Structure 1
Amino acid sequence: MPNMIDGETEFPETNSMLCPWGQTMPFVFRAAPKFESLADKWILPTLHPRRGEVVIERELWPVSEMFGASVGQHRRAVNAGYEATRRFRARLLALGQEALAILRAKDEMGIVLLGRSYNVNDPGTNLNVPTKLRTLYGTNVIPMDCLPIVGIDIKDVNDNMYWNYGRKILQAARFVSRQPNLRVIYITNFKCGPDSYIKHYTKDAAGGPFLTLQFDGHANDAGTLTRCEAYLDSQGFFTHEPRPIERSAQKSLSRTREERVEA
């Protein structure tokens, strides 16, 4: 179980850290009483993806060496892993572009799901709300991992977004701000410290209102779906007539960062 410190980024001047829970989870698991008998079985390499493939290759070498792999085998394995990741991401983007093209061609609205991949894509965590949005309400749903957000600048929203997922979330929100037929549902989880303040910048990036769904692993979906219905109705999904929103990449409906500081 790797100890992931940060994530890849196209903005090297700004940190791209993973959250404290993500960074420390391997050590939390190892210290759990249930796993005391397996304390010497854990393999916990510390990885820094933002430093690139060469660094990851070096940081993973002790693990490969432990299993008797040669240097050549190790390098081929790391290269294969990166190549598989690139193909997977390319496939996600292709699916996203296809979905966006269909929405434009049919003049339909869509919901972009913002959030961390383990919240947005795990039906156990999010009570399968993405699927229910589609099956119960006919809503077009696109996860943010399928959007072309690489290179989108969000410095006017937050010039030091050092959380890796925070940057991606705000980039996706900014992308939505440029698409008149898209709206946002932000999926988060209880006790997520970074999300507790990242979501306050999301309105600035999205240029309009959005729905936040916070899951804690205990509630059922009744209240959640009621909130979804209210949001979809308020945004014109049921009438197929999008409610106009004055969007702007430079000026948000909420107060600017400077105004908030002065207040």
Structure 2
Amino acid sequence: MPFVLKAVPQFEEHVHKFLAPSLHFQLGMEHVKGEIAGMAQKLGISRKASDGAVEAAYATQREFQRRLLEAGERAMARLEETGEPGLILAGRGYNIYDRGINCDIPRKLRNQYGANVIPLDFLVTGKESIAGLHDNMYWASGRKILEAARRSAASENLHLIYISNFKCGPDSYIKYFTRQAAGTPLLVLQFDGHGNDAGYMTRCEAYLDSKGILRCYSSNGETKPKAMPATAS
């Protein structure tokens, strides 16, 4: 992090060269433009060019999110059509998408068990109320996780896996309300960067079996379960 590097004695004479704008995305695009413009000026980049870059970045992000949600809608529609079970993968982005942190468990659930894994960001959020669970959830990710838990509770075919990391203060708080929102037992996997996948996969198998999903996937007698096309895995 920039403030850590600035405290390194060897970097003291180079502190003025650090490019570390403070971006508060909740304040909107104009705020981001202003912060980026100040940094860009040090690099000899005009305000017009930096503003254009910010606008292009926002547009690209919107398109990316649109494609995620479309894939999620297709996956959910397929599950409803076929009656197959699905696993909603909840947690913070750096936990559920980083293969190094989570031992690539989501992909292994897909490849080894044919599980229909749907990550949190593939679900439409912000439309369901979490009133009654927590009326003042501070973290945006917490609100999304609670919405996902409520969505899993509303369907017999949806089940929740919560991926967390060791000593995460927000997660230790959010998990309490997530259990209430889910209504049924969920699987919490906590990673610390030191374990391998053996113990985690054993817990996943036990969870799938307790939910009746493991039996569902292997009921056709095939050594490799027939799985849904990878629309959102």
Assess same fold via TM > 0.5.
yes
Tell me the distance in 2 between the aligned counterparts of 1:31 and 1:97. Answer: 47
Tell me the distance in 2 between the aligned counterparts of 1:181 and 1:34. Answer: 57
* 1:72 maps onto 2:42 in alignment: no
In the TM superposition, 1:1-150 aligns within 5 A as: 25-31=1-7, 39-150=15-126
In the TM superposition, 1:207-222 aligns within 5 A as: 207-222=183-198
One-letter amino acid matched to 1:97 = E
Tell me the distance in 1 between the aligned counterparts of 2:75 and 2:35. Answer: 38
Tell me the distance in 2 between the aligned counterparts of 1:175 and 1:32. Answer: 47
CA deviations 1:183-239 (Å, max 9, x no partner) are 000001112111011111001222221000000000111111111011001111023
Q: Against the structure 1 CA distance between its residues 47 and 238, is the aligned structure 2 distance closer, same or farther, given a 3 Å change threshold?
A: same
Tell me how far 1:40 sits from its aligned partner.
Answer: 4.4
Tell me how far 1:129 sits from its aligned partner.
Answer: 0.2
Report how many aligned residue pairs link the two structures.
Answer: 217
Describe the SS at the equivalent of 2:213. Answer: coil
Gaps of 5+ in 2: 218-233
Q: Against the structure 1 CA distance between its residues 180 and 38, is the aligned structure 2 distance closer, same or farther, given a 3 Å change threshold?
A: farther
Tell me the distance in 2 between the aligned counterparts of 1:135 and 1:52. Answer: 40
One-letter amino acid matched to 2:36 = L
Describe the SS at the equivalent of 1:153. Answer: coil
Tell me the distance in 1 between the aligned counterparts of 2:106 and 2:10. Answer: 34
Tell me the distance in 2 between the aligned counterparts of 1:32 and 1:236. Answer: 54
The alignment yields a C-alpha RMSD, in angstroms, of 1.9
TM-score (norm 1): 0.77
TM-score (norm 2): 0.86
The residue aligned with 1:232 is: 208
The residue aligned with 1:176 is: 152
One-letter amino acid matched to 1:169 = I
Describe the SS at the equivalent of 1:185. Answer: strand
Higher-helix-fraction structure: 2
Describe the SS at the equivalent of 2:44. Answer: coil
Q: Against the structure 1 CA distance between its residues 170 and 80, is the aligned structure 2 distance closer, same or farther, given a 3 Å change threshold?
A: same
Q: Which has the higher contact order (CA 8 A, sep 6+)?
A: 2
Tell me the distance in 2 between the aligned counterparts of 1:223 and 1:36. Answer: 45
